[in-house]
Structures are given as structure tokens and as C-alpha cells.
Chains A and B, each alone.
Chain A
Amino acid sequence: MPRFDPGITEPIWKIRWKMNMRSLAQNWEIFKESRVGMSGLIIIIAFGIFGLLWPIMINFVWDPLIYHPVVGFDPMMMHPSPPMASHLLGTDPIGRDILAQLMFSTGREFLLGVLSAVISVVVGTFIGAMAAYYGGFTDTLFMRLADIVMLFPFVPLLVVIGSMIRLGILPFAIILGFLEAFGGITVILKAQALQVKVRPYIDAARVAGGSDLHIIRAHIIPNVLPLSFLYMMFNVTGAIVSEATLSFFGILNIDMSWGMMIHTAETAGYLFDFGKFWWLWAPSGFFITLFCAAFYMVGRGLDEVVNPRLRKR
């Protein structure tokens, strides 16, 4: 039997790569239109640079004995001291440099937010696609599970778990990711996958002999991926807020984070005089809000890419 030869000499992966690049470029054009999304992206990049400065500063510029975010101490002055030349944002009640703490935490916040968001979206996308594709028992099982997970009061649950075991940053990110994954994400992505499932090309793939796994992997998941990506952005926000809140209440076993900085200021009693000791709470509070807002704004920008109806006519 003569094979069908379309006269293409390039390998198939190269063509796929080019097509992906082209659609990425198109989406980028749409995303660029959104002013909110672009500002969010710029803020995130700024945060990234700020976080990357940390290893340089601690290794080459700052003395680790004084500027270490957890055990540093400056013996030359009273603490907490207001901003000055040697401590640009002042020091906290036990003599640690605020700017160093902020910088050190930035990388950790990125790790936490991105890790938990990636886990939730990868697991959620896969489960959503499976539930939509197979339907029946699989569908019912995961949807009821999602109901129960969504039913769990989120913050109280984490408080209970946190009072049980001292959660470090990685276990916390993983727990958060899985809780999100089995909850709302699955339901949303399943609804999207259902719309993909009834398209003709799925039938075509099946007729051509594609296995279930192949169809899910190669046809359904790529088509729900933009929406997954969108929810990833929102999940980063959720993860950071949860971490900050629980750190603030002193429940997590994290040595330093933005929430922890406010916790330190609060337990030492300096939050009773807000105006006077502003450098203890303002930088970290501002960073939490800005960081979350940035991811949320990128999410809003992506929303216009994913939902064509939101775009300007």
C-alpha cells in the first residue's frame, strides 16, 4: 500500500513547535492589549529581580552576621530602629534587617505560590479531563469528592492541621495544592473539558484508532490548558494569602516570610502604635498585597485571551 506523502520534509515535532510558537505569539498580542495584565506582569518581573538579588547581596555585599534574615543581629544600635543608611528599611524588634528579610522571603513566596499552583492545576486538569472524558462512575466519584473538599472550611481546616503538625513551607505548599486540585479547579476544568469532548475532532481521533489516554493527553488537555493556566494565576494569589494569614497567626513552622514579619511585629506589641513603627508592618504588608495583586492582574489579562467575549470589539 503506498503511503500518503504530503511532501513535507520537516520532522513532525518541528512543525508542532512552530505551530505552538505561532499560537503563543498570537495570544501574546492579545495579552499585550490588556493594560491590567501587562502591569501585573511587569510587577511580577520586578519581584523576580528583587528576589534574585538576595544571593548576591548576602554573599558579596552584606555581612551575614548582621544581615541574616533569621539569626542576624546588629549590636551597634537599639532595636527596632527606624530606616537609616545601614538598614534601608530599619530593623525589627530583635535586631534583624527588614530589607534582608523582604528579599529573602521573596524567593520563598515564589516557590510556595508557584509550587502549590502548579500542583493544583496539573492534578486538577488531569482529573477534570478524565472525569469529562469517561463520565459515569469516574465523573460522579470526583465530583462528589470535589463537593466535599469545597465543603471543608479552608482556613479552619488548615488551622486544625497546623495545630496538629508543624507545617514547613514545602509540605504546606503541597497540602494547599492538593486541596485546591480536588476542589473547585476540577469542577471548572471538567466543565471546559466537556465542551471539548463533543467536538468532531475527538471523534475523528477515536476513529483513527487513538487510545483513551492519547485522546486525553493530545486533544483534550491542550484545549483546556489556557483555562488551567488562568486558574494557576488565581491560585498563586490564594496560596500566598493563606500562607500569610496562617503565618500571621503563628501556626506555620516557617522561619521567615512576609506574614511572619507582621507576626513578629504583632507579638512584640509594636502594632499598637501603627504610625510610629510603620516600617515593621508597612513593607511586608505592602509586598503581600502587591504580589497577590500582580498575579491576579495577570490572571485578568489572561482571561481576555481565554474568553474572546471579554475582548474589545
Chain B
Amino acid sequence: MLGRVGQLVLTLLIYMTMVYFLMQAMPGDISQVYLANPRIPQAARQELKKQLGLDRPPVLQYLSYIKNFFTGNLGVSFSHYPRPVWDILIERLPRTIVLFVTANCLSFYVGFVLGRIIAWQRGATVDHIATVVGITFWTAFYPLLSLILIWLFAFTLRWLPLNQFIEPALWVKAPFTSNTVFGYMVLGASVIALAVFFIFWTFRRGLRRTRKSAALAWGMTAGVIGLAIWIAHATGTLIYIWDIIRHMILPVFTLTLINFAGTMLLMRDSMLETVQEDYVMAARAKGLPENVVRDRYAARNALLPTVTSLVLSLASSMSGGLVTETMFSWPGIGQVLFRAALGNDYPLATGALVFTGVFLLVAHFVADVLYAFLDPRISYTGQPAAEG
């Protein structure tokens, strides 16, 4: 475990070094951009350069970059001057994470359910249709698809708002900032999710699964959500929360449409292997209903590779998030990075790249841990598996 963490830190350092040299390799270094104003005399330029530490040897500059990163100092953004990079990134990160976690969980669930069904009915019409539709969306040209959906739902039908994160007209008179509301919203959603999970977990474990207990579980879930809505209403944030949610629907829907097929096809392949196992035949021979055999026996064992892919796809969709966020004008990390890279805002671009990298690194680490947790055959100590 300690070795794994050590490797993690080492990988991060190498990654940061690479980002640093990539940024250094960009034409026109920071001093050029910062000092491009012809009204500043030569002496003042030299003085500024000295103040920024750009006259020092590159090695020292690099060391101070590493030191500054670990002390939480990422410099000051050019395009958002004088806001520090750290400040911008911290503001944007939750939006990105919430958007992508929601979309990924949703597409994972859809893919899981569909994959389970089409593997069970392999070769049937359902299988062919789902595979073709899935592949079409999976390989669809993403920016164009999102434009089409925006045009259809937001422009022509006017069901959903056009892009952005909030409706400015509504928020002008709001007594709080959007980030405060968003923070509470995320907190509330996590609490609700935990509560619902706990309710269903208790009922699945504790009682026999009867119609009555299921109704009770659903009732309690409705109660929790109702309570949350009431709290939001009482504090006067309900319309604002609803506004943010309305803006989230379209990007989440698009991401789900694009991503569900990956999980679906993986689940299908994985299921095709488990349905040939002996325990599935045994479960059938016991006379268990078909859907119980499918859901409890075949699907559960097929879940393992799919869960790993969930975490990894979360990571990769973060980096692909640049496209989503640019298309939907969602003010997250990806959009910041895109604008910073095109606008020569070096500190901000560096910061955003490193931030994304850290997030991906953590995601890979979580995937490893999860895999070891779900599959007892894999040990943590780094011993290779027996088959070698």
C-alpha cells in the first residue's frame, strides 16, 4: 500500500515535470506575454522580469514551480487578472466533477441494464438493434451531436435552457452566489443518495423481499426527497437549485447518450462469459425464475470488469470534458483549460492540466483499490497472479 502511494507521488512528479517543460516549450515565454506592452521602458521590463524570477536559471524556476504547487500557490491568471489560478480552479472543479459523475453513473446504469438484457437474448432482434444503435452513438461525432440536441431541445422545442450554468436574469436579485447554492445542492444530493442507498440496503438485507417492504422502502425514499425539497423551499433556494438542475439536464443527457454503449457492450461480452459457467446452469436447474438467474447469478459476476471501466471512463471523460464543457458553455475545468491554452494564459493552463492530471491519478488509484476489493484473487502486495 505504501509502495503504491509512493509510486503515485513519483508519477505525479514526472507528470508535473512534463507539463512544465511542455509549457516552457510554448513559443513566447511568460515574460514575452507579460512584457509585450511597448509603453513599458526597457529598464522597467528588466525589473519586472527580475521580480517574476524569470532571470534565474531554468532549474531553479522548475524547483520553485514544484515547491509552489505543493504549497498551493499556482500563480496568478493572466486573463482573469488578478485572480489566483488556485481560486479559479477551486471554483470550477466541483461543477466539472458533479456533471461528469452524474452523467457517468447514469450511463453506467443504463449500459448495465441494457447489456444484461441483450446478452441474455443474444442473437435476438433486441440484441442487434441495441448493438447497432449503441455503436452509432458511441462513435457519433460528439460536437455535432451536442449541437443537434441543443438545437432540438433548447432552440426549437424550448423545453430546456440554452447552455450556460445559470440563468443570469434570475440570479441578479439572488441573495447568495451561485457557488453557495451549488455547494448546498451537491451536499444535499449526496445525503439523499446515501440515505436512499441505506434504506434499500437495509431492506434487502434485513427483511424478506415482499411487496409490502418494497413499498415501504419506496415510501421512505419519497419521504427523504420530499423533506429535501421542503428544506430547499424553506430556505428560499428551491428555484435557484431548479435553475441549475435545468441547465444540467442537456449535457448529462448528451453524455449519457454518448457513453452508455461502452458499458453496454462491455457488459454484454462479460455476461456472455458468465452465462456459460456451471453455477448459472445449476441455478436454472434449481428452478429459479429466469430474471433472478440473470440478475443475481450471471450479471453479478459479470460486473467486475464493468466497474473498473466505470472509474476509468470517469477519468477519460474528465479529459474529454473539454469538448462537452466548450459545447455547452459549462464553466468547468475543461472550458478553463481550452480558453487558457488558446489565449496563452500559461499559469492557468498549467494549473488546469496539473489539476486534471491529479484527478485522473486519483481515479486510477481508486480503480486499483476497487478492483482488489471486488476481486479477492488480486492481492495488494504486488504479487503477480498465480497464472503469471
Residue numbers of A with Cβ under 8 A of B are: 35-36, 144, 147-148, 150-157, 159-161, 163-164, 194-195, 198, 237, 241, 244-245, 248-249, 259, 262, 266, 271, 274, 281, 285, 288-289, 292-293, 296-297, 300, 303, 307, 309-310, 312-313
Contacts and interface: CB of A to CB of B under 8 A. Distances in A.
Given A155-B320, A156-B334, A303-B269, A241 B15 contact: no
Contacts of B26: 160, 164
23 contacts: A144-B7, A147-B364, A148-B11, A148-B18, A152-B15, A152-B18, A155-B319, A155-B322, A156-B322, A156-B341, A157-B353, A163-B342, A194-B388, A241-B139, A249-B326, A259-B141, A274-B148, A289-B136, A292-B139, A293-B135, A307-B269, A309-B276, A310-B273
A289 B318 CA distance: 22
A180 B238 CA distance: 46
Interface of B: 7, 10-11, 14-15, 18, 22, 25-27, 122-123, 128, 131-132, 135-136, 138-144, 147-148, 151, 265, 269, 272-273, 276, 316, 318-320, 322-323, 326, 334, 337-338, 341-342, 349, 352-353, 356-357, 360-361, 364, 387-388
Q: Which of B139, B353, B387 has the most CB of A within 10 A?
A: B139
Nearest to B147: A271
Given A150-B364, A266-B147, 15 more contacts: A147-B364, A151-B11, A152-B15, A153-B356, A156-B334, A156-B338, A159-B341, A164-B25, A198-B388, A271-B147, A274-B147, A289-B139, A292-B139, A303-B269, A309-B276
A161 B322 CA distance: 15
Contact of B357 (A144, A153, A194, A274): A153
Given A163-B341, A244-B141, A151 B353 contact: no
A107 B26 CA distance: 32
Contacts of A164: 25-27
Contacts of A36: 128, 131-132, 135
A144 B122 CA distance: 39
Contact of B141 (A35, A285, A310): A285
B99 to A, nearest CB: 16
A280 to B, nearest CB: 11
Given A36-B131, A164-B25, A156 B337 contact: yes
B30 to A, nearest CB: 14
B343 to A, nearest CB: 9
A160 B364 contact: no
B138 to A, nearest CB: 7
Nearest to A258: B141
Contacts of B334: 156
A297 B148 CA distance: 24
Central interface residue in A160, A241, A249, by most chain B CB within 10 Å: A160
Contacts of A155: 319-320, 322-323
B269 A160 contact: no
Contacts of B356: 153, 156
Contacts of B337: 156, 159
A194 B384 CA distance: 11
**Residue of A161, A248, A297 with most partner-chain B CB within 10 A:** A248
B144 to A, nearest CB: 4
Contact of B360 (A151, A161, A266, A310): A151
A150 B332 CA distance: 22
Contacts of B148: 274
Contacts of A156: 319, 322, 334, 337-338, 341, 352-353, 356
B144 A144 contact: no
A137 to B, nearest CB: 15
A160 B341 contact: yes
Nearest to B318: A153
Contact of A285 (B27, B123, B144): B144
Contacts of A312: 122-123
Contacts of B27: 164
B269 A310 contact: yes
A241 B141 contact: yes
B22 A160 contact: yes
Contact of A160 (B143, B147, B265, B349): B349
Contacts of A237: 139
Nearest to B136: A293
B95 to A, nearest CB: 17
A245 B11 contact: no
Q: Closest 4 A-B residue pairs measured CB to CB?
A: A153-B319, A292-B139, A288-B141, A285-B144
A152 B141 contact: no
A150 B131 CA distance: 28
A147 B367 CA distance: 13
Contacts of B15: 148, 151-152
Given A156-B319, A309-B276, A147 B141 contact: no
A214 to B, nearest CB: 22
Contacts of A271: 147, 151
Contacts of A266: 147
